[in-house]
Amino acid sequence: MVLALGATAFADTGIYVTKNPTDEVRTAGGTAWFISGATNYNTLSWTFMSPDGTKYSVQDFRTRFPYATVEGEYTTTLTVRNLNTDMNRWGVFCTFTNNNGSTDTAMAFLYVSAYAAPTYSQPAYTAPSYNTNVNTANNGPITSLTNLGDGAALYTCTDGSVNYVGEDGSYMNVSADGFWFSYDASTGTYEGGMFNN
């Protein structure tokens, strides 16, 4: 039997490796896929190798890392799910076998880094701005404020008067005689006008 790690073809086995698995760089909790290919083989199996050079069958790897899921051990695609940083720098290769012997693919390595929690960029809260161009000299200090949107606001002053200030700075005492004003907070709409005398 001839075992030659990383070779692509052997005359004595007739097996020709068409695809070697490639390194996988992942974060903890992720999934790695190792894909291999060959011609003129009957069976295949995968083998893991620890950083210290110890070989593990797929079953032994499952025992060593019980939280991981390993699928496809007898197919050309080996899937390892729920990766952990303990698996960092482990190698894996595929062995193709026929009646003449076995041929190994090149070894691929698994590089697993710690999971990095995603960072979210949230804009800083900006307090709503209101038009404060209200003249309170005749009406006293402002006691309450209602934002009407688009920079407009209603101000209630200590004398009980209600004043409207528009985004453009226009000012109107809406509690004055002969004027009516209505604001619907649920819809954010307002309207006003003069009473018909």
User: Going by DSSP bridges, is the β-strand pair 55-57/24-27 parallel, antiparallel, or unpaired?
Assistant: unpaired
What average pLDDT does the segment 37-66 reach?
97
Give the range among 58-62, 104-108, 165-169 with minimum mean pLDDT: 165-169
Closest CA to 161 of 152, 174, 148: 174
Question: What DSSP element (H or E) covers 59?
Answer: helix 58-64
Q: For the whole model, what pTM was predicted? A: 0.56
User: Which alpha helices (DSSP H) does the chain contain, by range?
Assistant: 58-64
The C-alpha angle 130, 131, 134, rounded to 5 degrees, equals: 130
Coil, strand, or helix at residue 4? coil
Fold of 16-113: Immunoglobulin-like (2.60.40)
CA distance 80 to 136: 72
| Across 5-28, average pLDDT | 82
Give the residue with greater pLDDT, 14 vs 139: 14
Q: In this structure, are strands 101-104 and 108-113 parallel, antiparallel, or unpaired?
A: unpaired
Contact assessment for residue 27 and residue 112, using Cβ atoms and an 8 Å cutoff: yes
* CATH fold of the domain at 142-194: Thrombin, subunit H (2.40.10)
Query: By the 8 A CB rule, do 192 and 186 touch?
Result: no
Average pLDDT of the segment spanning 99-112: 96
90 CB-contact burial (10 Å; exposed 0-12 / middle 13-18 / buried 19+): buried
- Is the pLDDT assigned to residue 1 strictly greater than 50? no
Does position 39 have pLDDT exceeding 70, yes or no? yes
Q: Domain map of the chain by residue range?
A: 16-113, 142-194
- Flag whether pLDDT at 135 surpasses 50: no
**Spatial separation of the C-alpha atoms in residues 82 and 166, rounded to whole Å:** 59
pLDDT mean across residues, the chain:
78
